[in-house]
Structure 1
Amino acid sequence: MKKLTIIYVLALLVLNLTHLSGQSKETKFGKDKTEINTMLDGFNVAAAKADFDAYFNYFADESTFIGTDATEVWDKKAFMVWAKPYFDKKKTWNFTSLKRNVYFSKDGKLAWFDELLDTQMKICRGSGVVEKINGTWKVKQYVLSVTVPNEVVDKVVVEKTPIEDALLQQLKTK
């Protein structure tokens, strides 16, 4: 009976320690997750308000923006040049997160996210990588994708084929 009691107490102790260590890790990442969610919401609001400086301050100096068109891969400076006329004319984009997932590297120095966005293009997906730089989470890479319901993929392919065939040939020859 004594052996069973000792085994039972040890098992409870191990389970409790495992639970506590998982909890402290979750608590640490919980704070970072809140910071990232706040940052990404601010990022979207800055674009909607056409606040050029605020929007681009969310990007790390060395970062990449990948747009919905296959040719849209920009470093921060090139993206700023492309986007500046839209911000100047107050003709920017207004994205609202509908659902967001945030994941962390084991050491918590990097995080990545995916989100469904309500946009003028209907539902889009935003995804990316963020890094904590000097105590602030910054976007290192952002990818914007238009979602395509499975039921209409064939129709979309028919529409984009004449546009993308030339690009496909160009990419295959490089």
Structure 2
Amino acid sequence: MKRLLIACWLLLASVAAHAQQDAALTRQVNAFMDEWHDDAAHARMAYFDKIAQDGVYIGTDKNELWHRDEFKAWAKRFFERKAAWSFKATRRNVYFSPDRSFIWFDEILDTPNMGPCMASGVIRKTAHGFEIVHYQLSMAVPNEVNGQVVTLIKQAQSAPAGR
């Protein structure tokens, strides 16, 4: 009986330790992502350093699929100002691979220019810290207006070039 109690105690202690580690890692990821969004809001080039060299950024337009350096070149004009874009996470869910080397997340974003957005991403944990390997941004379109949005998209796609 004594051995069974010790085994149960060790199991509970192990579960508690993993929960504490997961909570700590979640806080680190939240801080990293919040800082990344803040880098853009203040046009700090450190924003791009947080994206892995092989990282991909997918924007809201169907043509916006960039590797980091292409994205950096495209966004240069925005980062030459005092502020590029402002995304503030209002909710974020964080998940981990069993070895904690890969982290994926989804977030709801408050943006002054695009309204509510959603994003998801994958982060790689390295010896030097975190790096974003994949990020996808999308506008959160309410179901009630989806038909109107689809109509506008079709109209924009059928319009002559340069219009």
Instruction: Provide the TM-score with structure 1 as the length reference.
Output: 0.83
Instruction: State the match for 2:123 in structure 1.
Output: 130
Instruction: State the match for 1:96 in structure 2.
Output: 88
Instruction: State the match for 2:62 in structure 1.
Output: 70
Cα displacement string for residues 115-166 of structure 1 (whole angstroms, at most 9, x for unaligned residues): 1111021110121000112230111111111001111111111111133469
SS of structure 2 residue aligned to 1:94: coil
Find the partner of 1:60 among 46, 52, 59.
Answer: 52
Aligned residue identity for 1:24: A
Structure 2: distance between partners of 1:15 and 1:113: 33
Superposition misfits of 4+ residues, deviation over 4 angstroms = 12-15
SS of structure 1 residue aligned to 2:84: coil
- 1:30–1:84 CA distance, 2 compared to 1 (3 A): same
Does the 8 Å contact 2:40/2:83 carry over to 1? no
Instruction: State the match for 1:26 in structure 2.
Output: 19
- 1:18–1:152 CA distance, 2 compared to 1 (3 A): farther
Gaps of 5+ in 2: none
Instruction: State the match for 2:101 in structure 1.
Output: 109
Find the partner of 1:143 among 136, 139, 144.
Answer: 136
How far is 1:19 from its partner?
2.7
SS of structure 2 residue aligned to 1:71: coil
Aligned residue identity for 1:126: A
How far is 1:35 from its partner?
1.1
Gaps of 5+ in 1: 1-5, 167-174
- Whichever of the two has the greater Rg, that structure is 1
Instruction: State the match for 1:82 in structure 2.
Output: 74
How far is 1:14 from its partner?
5.3
How far is 1:78 from its partner?
0.2
Instruction: State the match for 1:157 in structure 2.
Output: 150
Structure 2: distance between partners of 1:69 and 1:55: 20
Cα displacement string for residues 81-105 of structure 1 (whole angstroms, at most 9, x for unaligned residues): 0000111133511111101110000
Does the 8 Å contact 2:51/2:68 carry over to 1? yes
Q: Give the fraction of aligned pairs with identical amino acids, expressed as a percent.
A: 37
- 1:158–1:23 CA distance, 2 compared to 1 (3 A): same
RMSD of Structure 2 on Structure 1 (CA): 2.0
Question: Which deviates further from its counterpart, 34-43 or 24-33?
Answer: 24-33
